[in-house]
Every structure is written in C-alpha cells, then in structure tokens.
Amino acid sequence: MVFSSMVFVFAFFAINILVHSLCKSMKAKNICLLISSLIFYSWAGLSFVAIMLFDVAVCWFFGVLLELYDGKARRRLLILCLTIVLLVLGVFKYAGFVFENLQHLTGFPKVVPNIVLPLGISFYTFQLISYVVDVYRKKVPAQRSFWMLLLYASLFHQCVAGPIVRYGDVMDELRERHTTPAMISRGVSRFTVGLAKKAILANSCAVVADAFFKTDAAALALQPAAGLWLSGLAYMLQIYLDFSAYSDMALGMGLMCGLHYRENFDYPYTSTSVTEFWRRWHITLSSFFRDYVYIPLGGNRCGTGRQIFNLFVVWSLTGLWHGASWNYVLWGMYFFVFLVVEKFVLGDGLKKIPGVIRYLGVLLIVFFCWVIFRFEDLTALWTVVKGLFGGNGNPMTNAVAAMTFKSNWALLLVSVVACTPVCANLKLWLKDASAKSGAALGLYSVIEIVHPVLLLVLSAVCLTGDVYNPFIYWIF
C-alpha cells in the first residue's frame, strides 16, 4: 500500500485518523496508531513484520541493559547490539550484492540467492540505531515498554521512507500529545501538497524521464543527446518531487495526530554549493551520518588527512546505504570528491565566485549525480554519459525529442517552480499582507480553505486507474 493511492488516502488513512480522533485516552490513541502501523507494514508481507519485530526486540532489550551497566561492559553491549541490527540489514540488503561479486570473481556460488529486501529496513534500522546510541550517550532514557518502542519504529507515517525520526524528537509526544485545529489544518495542507507533488508532478515527470532513459545500454545508445538531457532534467525534477512529496505527506499525517517530525528538505535545488545542497537534501539522513558516524570518527577536530578519511567513510556508507550496487558507491564517491574540493581546495575562494556561476555549477553537478543514481548497470551509465555529449554517434536531436519537449514544457516549468520556495514565499507575503488589508485577508482565507480541497481532487483524478506508483525511495 502506497501513500499515493486511492485505497490509502480515502480508506486506510481516513479510517485511521477518524478512529484516532475518537479515542479519548493517550493509550487508546497509541494502540490505534500501532495497530494501523502494523497493518500498513504487513501489507507488503507478514515476514517483513517479523524482521522488524526482531530488530525492535533486540534494541529494546539492549536499551534496558545499557541503563544497568557502566564502563567497558556498557560499551560492549552497545557494540553487540549494533552488530546484530547491522548484520540483519547486511544480510537482507547486501548479501546478494556480495555473492554476485564473488561469483563474478571466483565462480562461487553457482547460484546467487534471491533475497527480498524488507520494506523500509534502511530507515527503521537507522532510527533504532539512533535510539540505542542516544540511550548509551544518556541523551534519552531507555523505553521500558516494548510496545512503545515498536510504535516509534513502525509509525506508518514515516517508517518506510523517512524522514529518519530520532526517539528524542517524539518520546514526549508518544506519552502525551494534543492536536489543535491549527495543527490539523497545517497537517491537511501539508499532506495534500505532498500528494499533489507525487500524483500530479512526480509521476508525470517520470513518464518524460522514461522516454529516453531506456533500461538497457543497446537502447540507450540509440537516443539523441537532446532526448537524454531532457530525460535527465525530468528525472532530476522527479526524484526531488517524489521524495519530498513523501516527506510532506509524512509530516502532514504526523501533525494531524499531534506528532512533529523533523523537516527533511529545504529547497536543495536553490543551493550555491554542494555542501549547502547536502544541508538541504534529505536532512535527517545527512544529520544521522554527521552525528553517528562523522563526529564519532573525529569529525573536523583533527588534521586534514584524517578529515578527508572521515569524509571518505561517511560518503562510502551514504552511497551503500542507498543501494547494494556499484553505481551507488560511485554516487557516494562523486559527492565525496566535490565536497573535498570545496572544503580543502577552494575553501574561502568559493565565495569569490559569482553566485549565479556557483548556482548553475551546483545544478550541473546534481544533474550528473542523478544520472549516476539512476543506472545500476555501469555499461548503461557510461552509454548515457557519452550520449549526453553526442558520443554515441547519433544526431543531437530528432523529431521525437522535439515533440516530447513541446508536449511537456509546461509540466517541466511548473515542476521547476515547485522545486523553489516561490509559492511558499508568495503565501507568506500574502499572510503578512492580510494583517494590514481586509482584501488580502479574504484572499488568504479563501486560499487556505480551497487549495487543500483542490489539490486533493486533482490528485484523485490523476490517481484514478493508477494502481501502483511507488515512491522512488521505497526500494531503499
């Protein structure tokens, strides 16, 4: 079951929010959320629930033990707990990748096992790791109730594809929370904006991205350069709109239930440096690696060589976290190189480059990062990179590329605007103006009431007949 489906929006979530609002006690509200979350997650397969239950049980058990021990024993308990949960993640996410490479190098094993990746395992594993480490650091108390820790890990709002919610962010609200009409209004607005991003824009951009980004190298070699650039642009828009849409919907659903999750995106395509891009893109993942990997390794509190090594480790892991394939490793190294250049080569000189040049440079860097991200087949990836510069011997453009652009230029323009804070700034300006003008107040009030309904209706129209349109990050 995906968020961007008629069943989820008009049946599952509608029933959940109704029952949740009718529950009088906090215990009843939490039971409602837990049952809903387990039903939602089990939709993908009951075996996946068993894996999640195991990970939660391990972290609950060790979390309690960590409060009973001190010194070296405590550290050993933490290492053992992290080893177990990372081993579970490693088996399901990376065993097939390891066996494939062993088979390629040695011929063993004869048959590579087909291990199905449990839905959202990368996200809830990181959440549980953050919980255990924060208990070890005495930032949060251990959760004595197994069911409450399971609720934290399985919250259907965000357990499948983030944002990565830290236990400390929601532990108080899991015990006691209140919803106000203003929170519900903000939640509904955020949810419908995310739904529209996905159903109207991201899914449409996906069609353009697939037009020339074919699935095999032979077909890719026949595509004109203009078509490849067009599909690359569409995919660049799609991946932001798709992933930020999921986060918008998660934050909106949380608000409707009285839960506040961290923001996960801050208009990353407006960045003027790669460093800034990663402060704005998938913020909860970046902050996780900063707080639980980079800083424990020494961060920037050591010499240049060690800082570079720390960055190398972080970006190797960031790439591998996204997927068990060499293109994701390459993707991580790609960003590692640019971040090292910015920090240690350009330094303060980066600020001397005109802002427009820096902005366009980041957009170009990000464009190619998504090309790397898209193609797991390295032969196909190289074919695309060559083709973007006319290296496959095809005409730079053809009638199909021209027609595709003419048919979709309005979609691409609206999608570009949706990747910027233009609409948010206009709304903020109108809100400020409404304090001084009755006409502005009336217009702002009408927009606040009408736009969620309008976006919901338009999204429903787009989703009609669209049986399955999963979010890109669900596969991670």
CB neighbours of residue 91 within 10 Å: 13
DSSP 303-367: -HHHHHHHHHHHHHHHHHHH-SSHHHHHHHHHHHHHHHIIIIIIGGGGGGS-HHHHHHHHHHHHH
Nearest alpha carbon to residue 56 among 25, 34, 33 = 34
Q: Structure tokens of 441?
A: 């107040």
Query: What are residue 392's phi and psi, to 5 degrees?
Result: -100, 5
Instruction: Give me the amino acid identity at 327.
Output: N
CB of 17 closer than 8 Å to CB of 258: no
CA distance 311 to 326: 19
The catalytic position among 20, 157, 282, 322 is 322
Active site residue 451: no
Stated as kind and residue range, the H or E segment containing 385 is helix 378-388
Which amino acid appears at position 458 of this protein? L
- Reference 200, options 6, 9, 414; nearest CA is 414
Burial of 432 (0-12, 13-18, 19+ CB in 10 A): exposed
Distance (Å, whole) CA 273 – CA 267: 13
Catalytic residue ranges: 322
